[in-house]
Amino acid sequence: MKIRLLDNITGQGEQDWSLHWILLWFACGVVALYLGFWFTTTQTALDWFYLAVSVVGLLCVVGLSFRKNVLGNGFGMLATSGEVVVQATAGAVGLMLAPLFNFFTHAYGAWHWHKHTGDDGLMIPKSANHAIWLITIVFVVVGLLLFPVINDWLFAKGFGVIAKDGETLFGVSFFWINVAAFVLSIAAQTTMILRYSFNWWIWIAVNFVWLLVNLMTHNYIFAIQTVIYQINSVVGLYGWYRSEQLAKA
């Protein structure tokens, strides 16, 4: 399906609005992050550092959606390194696992995307066959089954990732909602680095979960931030699939 507006936004239409869109989206993202920082933190030195890391993260995710290797994976390594420092400083060793995983995937992605870059300097995405879809589904199912066991073991060692606080949303434990988002985000990150376009469907699902949680817990600023990320995921989804189509034409 061809949508003229999204073609122009992704730089694949009659007019190239990609730079204008990136600047507009980035500005909205910075405003949302700053509002969250100002109204939900005490503005300590660590809070300022995490704000800076989050701004770098914005550059990373928009770079990934527009298939820009250096901007996406390069700033991805920088952002995840900062997240590791933040969690380590806060003593949350367990929460260092996700950014550490993402750091190494971005490091691999910088090499892998470089090998699959087109004449326009952008990474060339690829379609997933049935086997890749099946492997991804199996990974998610196994992850949902194993993660609670691993999480309990980490807590026993003093390195827990997700706490079981007994809170629920629509009768569903917040613990399981967090587990689902965590496992899905790992699947999305992996398939994105491997250049499979359907990764953005997974990111859209993850963002939807977090949007629901933020709205139900009245974290409206973070809900706005999630909407901004969701818009980027939709643009990324369209742009990657259109790039596939154009490459095959």
Q: How many CB atoms lie within 10 A of CB 135?
A: 13
Shortest CA distance to 57 belongs to which of 29, 95, 38, 31? 29
Provide mean pLDDT across the span 148-168: 72
Instruction: Give the residue extent of every domain in the chain.
Output: 4-248
Q: 71 CB contacts (<8 Å, ≥6 apart)?
A: 59, 60, 62, 63
Quick one: which H or E segment has residue 147? helix 130-156
List Cα–Cα distances, 74 to 48, 99, 183, 223, in angstroms.
Answer: 22, 14, 24, 27
pTM over 0.75: yes
List Cα–Cα distances, 222 to 33, 46, 63, 225, in angstroms.
Answer: 8, 19, 21, 5
**The pLDDT of residue 166:** 66
**The pLDDT of residue 161:** 63
Q: How far apart are CA 232 and CA 200, in angstroms?
A: 9
**What confidence tier does 204 reach under pLDDT thresholds 50, 70, 90?**
very high
Q: How far apart are CA 180 and CA 162, in angstroms?
A: 11
Q: How far apart are CA 236 and CA 27, in angstroms?
A: 18
Shortest CA distance to 240 belongs to which of 193, 188, 197, 192? 197
Q: How far apart are CA 180 and CA 136, in angstroms?
A: 14
Q: What is the pLDDT of residues 73-106, one digit of tens each?
A: 999 999 999 988 887 776 666 567 788 899 999 9
Q: What is the pLDDT of residues 5-25, one digit of tens each?
A: 999 999 998 999 999 999 999
Q: What is the pLDDT of residues 32-72, one digit of tens each?
A: 999 988 988 899 988 899 899 999 999 999 999 999 999 99
Fill in the DSSP letter of residue 96: G
Tokens of 3: 């949508």
- Tell which wins on pLDDT, 174 or 186: 186
Provide mean pLDDT across the span 217-228: 81
Strand partners, 169: 172
Q: How far apart are CA 200 and CA 6, in angstroms?
A: 15
Q: How far apart are CA 107 and CA 247, in angstroms?
A: 26
Residue 156 buriedness (CB in 10 A; 0-12 / 13-18 / 19+): exposed
Q: How far apart are CA 83 and CA 93, in angstroms?
A: 11
